[in-house]
Amino acid sequence: MEIRGPVLLPARREDVELRTVDELTLVGELALPADRDPVATLVTLHPLPTAGGFMDSHILRKAAGRLPALADLAVLRFNTRGTTSPRGTSDGAFDGGANECFDVAAAVDFVRERGLPRPWLVGWSFGTELALKYGRDHDIEGVILLSPPLHRATAEEVAAWAGDERRMVVLVPEFDDYLRPDEARERFSSVPDATLIAVEGGKHLWVGETQTRRVLTEIVAAVNPDALPLPVEWDGEIAG
């Protein structure tokens, strides 16, 4: 069977709740490899909720559906404050990226409490702003930024990553709606150790299986390169 679209490969999936220091409950899901321990953990941060972003935004949902089986990764997805998905609605209200700092902290705390290994923040669009603004405050291995718009993260917040030993991987679509590769190279030049990958033919929403596979491949290349190349066929059972 070809691996594509919303296919769910085998994993241990658990509905979870995260508790913030300002006493909100955030709803989410943790996906783990079905029969072994994960080698690393993706803490995913979804696109802008006021524009339809949530924990089920397709790249994050497909990461959770495929990467526990294909790359031995744990994948944590959750709705930031005030965000609704089929999983439910997180407490609170959207705060434009300000009090969402507590949401990022709650997710990283959850990973630590569960003893999950090698956490990486994986932000998409608005989620990249949260990773850039708040990721340095936490014990993580690195950040992966998908389609960063750099609307909320300031130049100073980006530059603060310069010299940080944690890795920064930036995926910039050729035809992004907000930040294209040439401008991205200029605006991330303050972080000389960042790996900036211009994705030919890519668009902000990474629509289509070709773009999905490219994004998931780049995530795995950063976090667990021994799992590459990612299979495109699956011979075993599927969850749905």
Q: What is the reported pLDDT for 101? A: 98
Q: In degrees, to the nearest 5, what angle opens at C-alpha 178 toward C-alphas 170 and 6? A: 65
Q: What is the DSSP letter of 79?
A: P
DSSP state of 97: T
**Cα 155 to Cα 131, 132, 186, 209, distances in angstroms:** 14, 10, 11, 33
For the chain, 240 residues long, give each residue's pLDDT as a single digit of tens. 999 999 999 999 999 999 999 999 999 999 999 999 999 999 999 999 999 999 999 999 999 999 999 999 999 999 999 999 999 999 999 999 999 999 999 999 999 999 999 999 999 999 999 999 999 999 999 999 999 999 999 999 999 999 999 999 999 999 999 999 999 999 999 999 999 999 999 999 999 999 999 999 999 999 999 999 999 999 988 875
**pTM for the whole structure:** 0.98
Are 168 and 142 a contacting pair, CB within 8 Å?
Answer: yes
H-helix or E-strand spanning residue 143: strand 142-146
**Quick one: residue 163, left, alpha or beta (phi over 0 = left, psi -120 to 50 = alpha)?**
left
Q: What pLDDT score was predicted for residue 240?
A: 53
3-state secondary structure of 159: helix
What architecture is domain 12-227? 3-Layer(aba) Sandwich (3.40)
CA 232, 238, 240: angle at the middle one, nearest 5? 110
| Model pLDDT, residue 236 | 85
C-alpha torsion sign, points 111, 53, 152, 102: negative
